[in-house]
Amino acid sequence: MDSHGTDKEFGGSIPEVYDSYLVPLIFEAFAIDLASRLASRQPKRVLELAAGTGVVTRAMATALPADVSIVATDLNQPMLDRASAVGTRRPVAWHQADAMRLPFKDGEFDSVVCQFGYMFLPDKAKAFAEARRVLGPGGVLVFNVWDRIEENDFAHMVTEGLAALFPADPPRFLARTPHGYHNRATIERDLRLGGFQKQPQFETVAARSRAASPRFPAVGFCQGTPLRNEIEARGAGALAKATDACADEIARRFGRETVDGKIQAHIVAVEV
């Protein structure tokens, strides 16, 4: 994260916009995929990291048997507040927690799951070490990360639109953070440094991201992520101008009615 301290800040109206726009646009399909992969392993005690507004939590509450305990955590309490307000089909335990300093005992869980969260952590090896610590023998860490931004159409178009609007100092949050941790060799190295000795399994999965208009993804990315903090720092009215510019950039490529773009991520599983 370095000097970009706002990359981790999901406060204000961001959680609501995130949940209303980005969850159906880019997160829901991968959440169902992750929950299905976890269910096939028949876990009993699951810890979720970076739960956000609970899209994976809700998918797990549906996919996993009722006797499976689910503890969902996030660094940002406003995101958890939104998640608990939306709710799940059965009870889960919600806890504010830093993935690099987990408040749980050694070996307390048999599965740790994390959707699109490790990219935000400044010390990924330390976070992997914490996941390894709370996993018991035979446990598994399952997580996903976005592929490079060029493989994710709407995020790429938003970044291009902002570069045209702010050419001297373009906001680069999306490329820098959500799409900045996709190199397989780097992930494997960090897992080893975190104490995972077994070879991780990687799978690259592409899906489609659909919306009723180009403005929908523009609002989602500009106003429902920490990119908003970076845009608003550029002055009064910058957020409205940025949202309009990004909607125009998406429309330029995909048209002004229903839009349909590619999204792509890496799914990683590594056993203790």
**pLDDT tens digits, one per residue of 147-179:** 999 999 999 999 999 999 999 999 999 999 999
CB 18 within 8 A of CB 53: yes
Cα distances (angstroms) measured from residue 27 to each of 56, 114, 249:
9, 12, 22
Q: Token pair 């957020």 is at which residue?
A: 239
Single-letter amino acid code for the residue at 30: F
pLDDT band at 79; cut points 50, 70, 90: very high
Q: Which pLDDT score, from 0 to 100, does residue 8 have?
A: 65
Expressed as residue numbers, the domain containing 103 is 5-271
Domain CATH code at residue 233: 3.40.50.150
Domain count, the chain: 1
pLDDT computed for residue 3 by the predictor: 45
Q: CA-to-CA distance for 208 and 80, rounded, in angstroms?
A: 27
